[in-house]
């Protein structure tokens, strides 16, 4: 080898170390990766190959130590034992060799951030991240206390540590990420960003979980890994699911066990499978490198690349105004499923591919789940993003996010995409009662421009095919939502008004308006035009009156609700007036308190309305009856003081049965 060639290789090694370092900082410190794991792993592989070839390893090489950074704001804590990474392979046969003649445990390699919990005297003392080099971590006890499943008090008195992964399930990721503006590309980044917050109130909303994989103790079940996992499980920890293979296992059993780990069927993100010796002493005797311990090995899935053609990009606006970019391509069969789209995260990633229509691209499924575009072989660089909001048509702008990436934004304050909560409110059970139309689903419909106003909900038919082809949607879920929407076409004026979201005009006010205007929208609107004084209605104050007029005059509001009138028809709330008049509750003011056996809170209100009563929420001199359920409190005391007649639930039932 000539000296010149050597120096070329050394330069490349330095360049790789620099790139890997930058990626580490973005990934571990800022929780905002600047490249995919695939690209990162390729850089590390290349560096490792060069190190082997040249026999030179530079002191700051990432192959010699564990990645990781700590935040200045959090308190640093030294680990009792270094937290190392795992040795990796992509060959199942390496696992077969590793396990030969020994009992092993196979478990998911869950993809979040490592967390160490310290327990003493049966209580959680401290929670620490892996941190810099696995030696100095950060104290995150305050946020870990807000996790969904961390045991705070346990039956084990002696001190020990438990290592595990802080994760967010796919479902919770989708919901939480949308509510935060869709800025996170993977549950791992959201989990890491949420655990390392100073404000535990904020992390509480992120729905984090802790899944234990290691008990660190010299005395507790210290001979068998299996016994340790069982002890943790019995003490209240969620333990990473595992398969135990006894010493007598066959090679085929190892392959079958590996095959049983199918990420598609697991609710949490994973990035491989971990194999570890059951014999704890044996595992320890194998020692460690500066990078990983030899008692375990990680299998990473091969990312199989598929070739296809780029066919365009799809934009969808989210509730924060951020516009997501999805790359479209000719459908390819990726182990059994037809895939034709991959999320592109931000403008920088989109630009880096230099797409042109018809370009030959390579796609894969990261960790067997998430479709990703790996490379563009043609790079014709002729396709540009349409800079127009798919929802409102407004020109899009490009904003730099706090994470340093560029995102598309719709700046129109009236863009329907920003009104997802308003639509969700409209669909609620106690309003128009459109079951299955959650905020997440609505966001998709609105963001794609299929729904721009309340009336559009009733005309989704035209987009049936597009809806069914979006991720996470099938024919069945479409039909279910469609049926629920059709059912809601027939509604009462009360629910309709409650769904419009006029400030302070809710269900109670809706019922009063329904009653006063005989369930007729036309009567209600005629009154509005004649400047009717709503304060004459029971419980209507001046502000409510003004809110109604402000809402009616607002043109933007009108664009939302007016198209709805052509889609729904009003039914009367109470049909059989004569028979209702005969009940003892007709025209009476009735309050219910405590827990009732036969009714929910809303249920009893509806029942009272059907009986012609006026349900009220507080006990006053005007109250005629108080229905008393279990654990009644101050309302009962007050009723007794005022001498108001109280009824048990049974007495109430008997009176209406007569």
Q: Does the protein bind ligand NAD through residue 41 (CB under 6 A)? A: yes
Query: Which residues ranging from 423 to 452 are in contact with Zn ion (CB under 5 A)?
Result: none
**Residue 611 interaction partner, one of ligand NAD, Zn ion, none, beta carbon < 5-8 Å per kind:** none
Q: How many residues make contact with ligand NAD (CB under 6 A)?
A: 24
Nearer to ligand NAD, 130 or 249 (CB): 130
Respond yes or no: is residue 109 known to be catalytic.
Answer: yes
Report what 415 binds from Zn ion, ligand NAD, none; CB cut-off 5-8 Å by kind: Zn ion
Q: Among residues 32, 98, 106, 114, which is the contact residue for ligand NAD, using CB under 6 A?
A: 114
| Binds Zn ion (CB under 5 A): choice among 47, 86, 410, 481 | 410
Give residues 56-85 in contact with ligand NAD (rule: CB under 6 A).
66-67, 85
Distance of CA 558 to the CA centre of its chain: 32
Max CA separation in the chain (angstroms):
107
Q: Which of 232, 240, 374, 596 binds ligand NAD (CB under 6 A)?
A: 240
Nearest 5°: the CA angle 274, 276, 282 is 160
Decide if 299 contacts 272 (C-beta within 8 A): yes
255 HSE (CA, 13 A, CB side): 5
Tell me whether residue 303 or residue 649 sits nearer to ligand NAD (CB atom): 303
Q: Residue 389 touches which of Zn ion, ligand NAD, none (CB < 5 to 8 A by kind)?
A: Zn ion
> Nearer to Zn ion by C-beta: 391 or 502?
391
Chain positions 124 to 183 lying near ligand NAD, rule: CB under 6 A, are: 130, 165
CB of 87 to ligand NAD, least distance (A): 8
**Residue 117 near ligand NAD by CB under 6 A:** no
DSSP letter (8 states) at residue 420: H
- Angle made by CA atoms 654, 657, 658, in degrees to the nearest 5: 90
**CB 332, CB 340: distance < 8 Å:** yes
Residues with Cβ within 8 Å of 249's Cβ and at least 6 positions away in sequence, in order, are 99, 103, 104
Of Zn ion, ligand NAD, none, which one sits near residue 410, judging by CB under 5 to 8 A according to partner kind?
A: Zn ion
Q: Considering the rule CB under 6 A, would residue 546 count as an interface residue with ligand NAD?
A: no
Binding-site partner at residue 110 among Zn ion, ligand NAD, none, CB < 5 to 8 Å by type: ligand NAD
The residue (of 274 and 325) whose beta carbon lies closer to ligand NAD is 274
DSSP-assigned letter for residue 27:
I
Q: Looking at 17, 27, 293, 608, which residue binds ligand NAD (CB under 6 A)?
A: 27
301 binds ligand NAD (CB under 6 A): no
Residues of this chain, 402-461, that bind ligand NAD according to CB under 6 A: none
Assess 559 for contact with Zn ion (CB under 5 A).
Answer: no
Binding partner of residue 391 among ligand NAD, Zn ion, none, CB under 5 to 8 Å per kind?
A: Zn ion
**How far apart are the C-alpha atoms of 492 and 511, rounded to whole Å?**
9
Decide if 376 contacts 310 (C-beta within 8 A). yes
- Contact between 415 and 321 under an 8 Å Cβ cutoff? The reply is yes
Residue whose tokens read 């009272």: 608
CB 203 within 8 A of CB 113: no
Q: Quick one: tokens of 396?
A: 């899009």
35 binds ligand NAD, rule: CB under 6 A:
yes
Q: Should residue 274 be labelled a site residue for ligand NAD when binding is judged by CB under 6 A?
A: yes
Report residue 11 as tokens. 């330069």
DSSP code per residue over 531-579: T--GGGSTT--HHHHHHHHHHHH-HHHHHHHGGGGGT-EEE-S---HHH
Catalytic residue among 88, 90, 109, 487: 109
x/- letters, 377..406, toward Zn ion (CB under 5 A): ------------x-xx-x------------
Work out whether 412 is an interface residue with Zn ion (CB under 5 A): yes
| CA terminus-to-terminus distance, the chain | 104
Q: How far is the CB of 601 from Zn ion (least distance, A)?
A: 38
Strands 406-410 and 569-571: unpaired
427 is in an annotated binding site: no
Q: What Rg, from alpha-carbon coordinates, does the chain have?
A: 31
Torsion over CA: 639, 644, 645, 650 (sign) = negative
Distance CA 211, CA 543 (A): 51
CA distance 481 to 473: 11
Check whether 389 is labelled as a binding-site residue: yes
Residue 528 as a binder of Zn ion (CB under 5 A): the answer is no
| 272 close to 367: Cβ distance less than 8 angstroms | yes
Q: Which does 107 bind (CB under 5 to 8 A by kind): Zn ion, ligand NAD, none?
A: ligand NAD
Q: Does 37 bind ligand NAD (CB under 6 A)?
A: yes
User: Would you say 592 is a known binding-site residue?
Assistant: no
The residues carrying an active-site annotation are 109
By CB under 5 A, name the binding residues for Zn ion: 389, 391-392, 394, 410, 412, 415
By CB under 6 A, name the binding residues for ligand NAD: 23-24, 27, 33, 35-37, 40-41, 66-67, 85-86, 107-110, 114, 130, 165, 213, 240, 274, 298
């Amino acid at each position: 080898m000539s000296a010149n060639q050597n120096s070329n290789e050394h330069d490349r090694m330095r360049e790789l170390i620099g790139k890997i370092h930058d990626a580490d900082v973005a990934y571990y410190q800022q929780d905002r990766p600047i490249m995919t794991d695939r690209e990162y792993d390729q850089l590390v592989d290349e560096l490792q190959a060069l190190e082997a070839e040249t026999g030179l390893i530079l002191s700051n090489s990432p192959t010699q130590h564990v990645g990781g950074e700590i935040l200045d704001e959090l308190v640093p804590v030294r680990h009792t034992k270094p937290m190392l990474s795992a040795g990796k392979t992509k060959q199942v046969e390496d696992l077969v060799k590793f396990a030969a003649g020994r009992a092993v445990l196979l478990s998911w390699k869950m993809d979040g951030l490592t967390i160490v919990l310290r327990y003493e005297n049966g209580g959680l003392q401290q929670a620490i991240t892996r941190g810099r080099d696995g030696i100095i971590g950060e104290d995150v006890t305050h946020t870990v206390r807000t996790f969904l499943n961390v045991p705070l008090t346990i039956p084990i008195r002696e001190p020990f540590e438990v290592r595990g992964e802080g994760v967010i399930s796919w479902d919770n990721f989708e919901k939480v990420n949308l509510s935060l503006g869709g800025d996170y590309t993977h549950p791992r980044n959201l989990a890491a960003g949420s655990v390392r917050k100073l404000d535990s109130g904020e992390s509480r909303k992120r729905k984090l979980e802790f899944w234990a994989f290691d008990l660190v103790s010299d005395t507790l079940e210290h001979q068998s890994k299996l016994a340790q996992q069982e002890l943790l499980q019995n003490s209240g920890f969620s333990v990473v699911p595992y398969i135990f293979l006894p010493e007598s296992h066959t090679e085929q059993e190892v392959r079958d066990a590996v095959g049983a780990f199918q990420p598609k069927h697991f609710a949490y993100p994973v990035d491989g499978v971990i194999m570890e010796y059951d014999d704890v002493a044996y595992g320890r005797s194998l020692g460690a490198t500066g990078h990983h311990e030899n008692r375990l090995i990680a299998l990473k899935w091969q990312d199989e690349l598929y070739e296809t053609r780029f066919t365009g990009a799809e934009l969808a606006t989210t509730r924060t105004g951020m516009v997501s970019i999805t790359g479209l391509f000719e459908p390819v069969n990726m182990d059994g499923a037809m895939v034709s789209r991959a999320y592109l995260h931000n403008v920088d990633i989109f630009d880096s591919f230099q797409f042109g229509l018809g370009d030959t691209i390579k796609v894969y499924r990261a960790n067997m789940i998430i479709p990703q575009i790996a490379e563009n072989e043609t790079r014709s660089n002729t396709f540009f993003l349409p800079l127009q909001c798919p929802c409102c048509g407004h020109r899009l702008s490009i904003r730099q996010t706090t994470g340093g990436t560029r995102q598309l934004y719709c700046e129109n304050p009236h863009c329907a995409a920003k009104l997802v909560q308003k639509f969700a409110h409209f669909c609620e059970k106690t309003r128009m009662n459109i079951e299955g139309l959650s905020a997440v689903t609505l966001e998709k419909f609105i963001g794609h421009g299929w729904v721009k106003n309340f009336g559009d909900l009733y005309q989704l038919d035209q987009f049936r095919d597009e809806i069914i082809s979006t991720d996470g949607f099938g024919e069945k879920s479409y039909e279910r939502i469609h049926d629920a929407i059709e059912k809601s076409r027939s509604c009462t004026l009360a629910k309709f008004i409650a769904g419009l979201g006029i400030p302070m005009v809710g269900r109670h006010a809706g019922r009063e308006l329904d009653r006063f205007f005989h369930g007729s929208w036309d009567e209600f609107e005629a009154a509005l035009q004649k400047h009717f004084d709503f304060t004459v209605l029971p419980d209507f104050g001046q502000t409510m009156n003004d809110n109604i007029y402000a809402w009616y005059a607002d043109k933007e509001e009108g664009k939302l609700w007016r198209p709805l009138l052509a889609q729904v028809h009003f039914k009367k709330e109470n049909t059989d007036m004569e028979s209702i008049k005969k009940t003892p509750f007709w025209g009476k003011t009735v309050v219910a308190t405590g827990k009732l056996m036969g009714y929910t809170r809303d249920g009893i209100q509806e029942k009272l309305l059907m009986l012609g009563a006026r349900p009220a929420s507080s006990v006053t001199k005007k109250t005629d009856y108080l229905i008393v359920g279990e654990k009644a409190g101050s309302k009962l005391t007050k009723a007794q003081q005022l001498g108001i007649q109280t009824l048990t639930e049974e007495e109430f039932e008997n009176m209406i049965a007569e």
